[in-house]
Chains A and B, each alone.
Chain A
Amino acid sequence: MISLTRRFELPDLIAYAGATWDWHKLHYDPAYVASVGLEAPVVDGQVFGALLAEVLTDHLGPGWRLAALDYRFGSLVLAGETVRAEATITDQDAGHVRADLRVVVIDDNGVAVRDAVSRGSAELVPR
């Protein structure tokens, strides 16, 4: 399995909201978040797609590009939490690489406490 770990603090959420022009208050406004019953701003779920892309392209190098990426959300991830994006290569030859994917929220000891992305898969092809 290959993986990367990333912690999302509020400035990270604000940076992603700015980079994507997705200004939904759910991602940065503590007062709005409290009004809908949540403890902290919510990490934009699409950032997990970016992390899964990163873990795969970092592993395979610039000769490969993504052709397909599917993922299903699990639990919400809140500001201040740390996630680990995991990929397991299931099939590889000269023409394609396939992988199973998952993103988990981890505690301070690196132990998975719940799924952010409960399941996913990807296919990469030569660039």
Chain B
Amino acid sequence: MNEFADESSARGLLTLALKARLGERAVYTAPEEIGRATARYFATAVGDENPLYHSGKIVPPTWIFETCQYTGLPREDDGYCGHSWHLDVPGTRLVRGGHRYRWTRDVRPDDVITATWELLDMTERTTRTGSPMLVVTSSCRYTDADAAPIAEQTEDLIFVRLSR
């Protein structure tokens, strides 16, 4: 019998408990409009002098993918207060793979955003150096107060097994 048959796959990272979480959702709605000051502050922090952002006409496009500010979640020991799936993958370190952003329209200062996260996929792979890794893919849809789409992102979290 495979030593991992009951609890996990042959590589030992994708457990049944993790698989059972696929399809989980988390929804966060901002308590107010984004606001012109938020757009200007983000542009200033990035160093982007685009007058469209500083005049408050539109919000810098990648701002919408930063949702910590309206999760309402408590700050964790490491300081983070945003959405997390809190996946338990023992013996690994977490690295971020990348992002895929899509926009339906400009983000506007008067938008009231709802962010809907979904845990889409978990796939075991091997790094170029031969270490097992678990790639966790999730998405987030951003809609306005009328539930109309504004943007969507997909991100990969990669749990790489620590060398023993």
CB neighbours (8 Å) of B66 from chain A are 19-22, 46
Please state if B101 and A26 are interface contacts (CB–CB under 8 Å).
no
Please state if B61 and A70 are interface contacts (CB–CB under 8 Å).
no
B102 at the interface (CB under 8 A from A): yes
State the CA gap A47–B65 with chains docked (Å). 11
Q: How large is the interface on A (under 10, 10 to 19, 20 to 34, 35 or more residues)?
A: 35 or more
- Known contacts A15-B45, A49-B101, then 13 further A-B pairs from the complex at CB < 8 Å, ordered by chain A residue: A19-B42, A19-B44, A20-B42, A22-B66, A23-B81, A32-B78, A46-B99, A53-B60, A53-B62, A57-B61, A69-B62, A70-B98, A70-B101
Question: What distance in Å separates the Cβ of A34 from its nearest Cβ neighbour in chain B?
Answer: 14
Question: What distance in Å separates the Cβ of A104 from its nearest Cβ neighbour in chain B?
Answer: 16
Question: What distance in Å separates the Cβ of A91 from its nearest Cβ neighbour in chain B?
Answer: 18
What are 20 of the A-B contact pairs (CB < 8 Å)? A16-B45, A18-B41, A20-B66, A22-B68, A23-B75, A23-B80, A25-B79, A29-B79, A32-B78, A45-B96, A46-B65, A50-B63, A51-B46, A54-B48, A57-B50, A65-B105, A69-B101, A70-B101, A71-B98, A120-B98
State the CA gap A68–B78 with chains docked (Å). 32
Please state if B79 and A23 are interface contacts (CB–CB under 8 Å).
yes
- What are the 6 A-B residue pairs with the smallest beta carbon separation, nearest first? A72-B98, A20-B66, A21-B69, A21-B68, A19-B45, A15-B45
Question: What distance in Å separates the Cβ of A43 from its nearest Cβ neighbour in chain B?
Answer: 11
Interface mask (A4-42 → B, CB under 8 Å = 1, otherwise 0): 001000001001101111111110010010000000000
Please state if A66 and B61 are interface contacts (CB–CB under 8 Å).
yes
Please state if B61 and A65 are interface contacts (CB–CB under 8 Å).
yes
Interface mask (A86-127 → B, CB under 8 Å = 1, otherwise 0): 000000000000000000000000000000010010000001
Q: Which of A45, A49, A62 has the most CB of B within 10 A?
A: A49
